[in-house]
A = this chain, B = another copy of it.
């Protein structure tokens, strides 16, 4: 790895941080970001910089970075754009290793801003200081409880998914499913205008990061398509990269130019490059993020043959359609397998794939049904679809309860059985090494006592489509790896 990139360690593993523009004014980023850092539980040293305050949030404040009498790994910039260059000079004089420039108002504003940005880069590179941004929302590294970023009190848990995004807002949303699923984040960076470090360089850094298993990238533009292709190829042989592209259309490109001053890239060329480089291309924020979650803690499917088990016939129909439409193969099952299933299932079961459990209420047949499919050798992956009504009462408190069977009792009973089943099935997947994709409405439970909230819980997809897309992406990646070897 480029020694310059090594300096990213000073950002993600910062032992000390100068916070330039720290304030106690609540509706300023200089407060909100500092507050995220403090409330996130960061254990290193924080030195607020503010020329007109002695203390900020109870911490001693310094007029400039030069006045801080300690070594500094990282400087966070939240001052207005006209003050950034001076603050950068101070950082360089002080020997700060990395700068995180939140401040906007550079290249994205046009020529004048681009000139200032170029000047900043020149100074930083000369001094061997690394710059993240400008015009970005920050970074996070939950392992170090490091959250110097905009989204308020948003402290995702530690996990194995990393993110590089040319939009802070999109980054927040991409991270969402990893928080809800409990799978968590290794490292995340809002790369902003990418004055110094480009998307593909972050990928090169992350491929060597032992905590990162999967990488998600949101890309609006590329300065050097060839370099992107070269570097990302080296990454995808080791770790899956899931990409979402902004600026796929003329109006999207125009918006991207205003946003981060991104160099537009032809959509056709970009798609072709991704295909060559084994990058998994997705089309929505949710798809990108949920697909990344699917890669964690799950074997790759060795092919595209799918067995579907569903608690409701219509869901099986829609799943068959969607699987077929995206290139998966809902294979017919052999008579031998169907006979095994018939022995288990109710009289009114109609043999076939999907295996429709026909509104049965016997939870004990779930695991053996899925085990038959996994052991059949006839499918490369199994989907288990059990989605129903959301758990939200239309009018709270308006129910009479029937003897011993109030809402909590029935829901608790069903949920406990389902959760037990999900955990068992998750183990079964690892034993038999056949990937399993479970979709359920269970996590829609809104009571805050969701029994599935735990970093070890199995991933539950919230829709048929997201489960199908993740399966398909993983099968494609397996095919890419096989071809690349």
Instruction: Mark A residues whose CB is within 8 Å of B.
Output: 26-29, 32, 35, 38-41, 57-58, 81, 104-105, 108-109, 137, 142, 150-157, 165-173, 175-176, 179-180, 184, 218, 220, 244, 246-252, 254-256, 258-260, 284-286, 310-318, 320-321, 323-325, 330, 347-348, 350, 352, 354, 356, 358-359, 361-362, 387-390, 392-395, 398-403, 405-407, 410-411, 413-414, 441, 444, 446-448, 463-465
Contacts and interface: CB of A to CB of B under 8 A. Distances in A.
A352 B252 CA distance: 12
A418 to B, nearest CB: 12
A311 B169 contact: yes
B390 A176 contact: yes
A400 B34 CA distance: 13
Nearest to A81: B348
B402 A104 contact: no
Contacts of A350: 108-109, 258-259
A348 B109 contact: yes
Given A180-B390, A447-B448, 20 more contacts: A26-B405, A27-B362, A35-B402, A39-B407, A58-B403, A105-B347, A142-B394, A150-B359, A151-B389, A152-B389, A153-B407, A155-B398, A155-B399, A170-B314, A170-B318, A173-B388, A179-B389, A246-B317, A255-B354, A284-B465
Contacts of A394: 142, 155-157, 179, 184
A347 to B, nearest CB: 7
A388 B285 contact: no
Nearest to A31: B405
A81 B464 CA distance: 31
A160 to B, nearest CB: 14
Contact of A320 (B168, B180, B251): B251
A81 to B, nearest CB: 7
A230 B12 CA distance: 64
Contacts of A330: 251, 255
A26 to B, nearest CB: 7
Q: How many copies does the complex hold?
A: 2
Nearest to A58: B403
A29 to B, nearest CB: 8
B173 A249 contact: no
Contacts of A284: 318, 463-465
A220 B317 contact: yes
Contact of A176 (B137, B250, B389, B393): B389
B169 A27 contact: no
Contacts of A406: 39
Contacts of A318: 170, 244, 246, 252, 284-285
A99 B6 CA distance: 73
Among the interface residues A166, A220, A390, which one has the most CB atoms of the partner chain B within 10 A? A390
Contacts of A39: 399-402, 406-407
B169 A286 contact: no
A156 B169 CA distance: 33
Most chain B beta-carbon contacts within 10 A, residue among A81, A176, A444: A176
Contacts of A323: 251
Contacts of A411: 152-153
B399 A153 contact: yes
A165 B463 CA distance: 18
A348 B169 contact: no
Contacts of A320: 249, 251-252, 254-255
Nearest to A113: B348
A392 B446 CA distance: 12
A166 B399 CA distance: 29
B154 A398 contact: no
Instruction: Pick from A156, A251, A320 the residue with the most CB of B within 10 Å.
Output: A251
A243 to B, nearest CB: 13
A157 to B, nearest CB: 4
A371 to B, nearest CB: 22
Contacts of A390: 176, 179-180
30 contacts: A27-B361, A32-B361, A32-B410, A39-B400, A39-B401, A39-B402, A39-B406, A105-B348, A152-B410, A152-B411, A152-B414, A153-B411, A155-B393, A157-B394, A167-B315, A169-B312, A170-B314, A173-B387, A173-B389, A180-B390, A180-B392, A246-B318, A248-B321, A249-B321, A251-B321, A252-B321, A256-B317, A258-B356, A259-B314, A446-B448
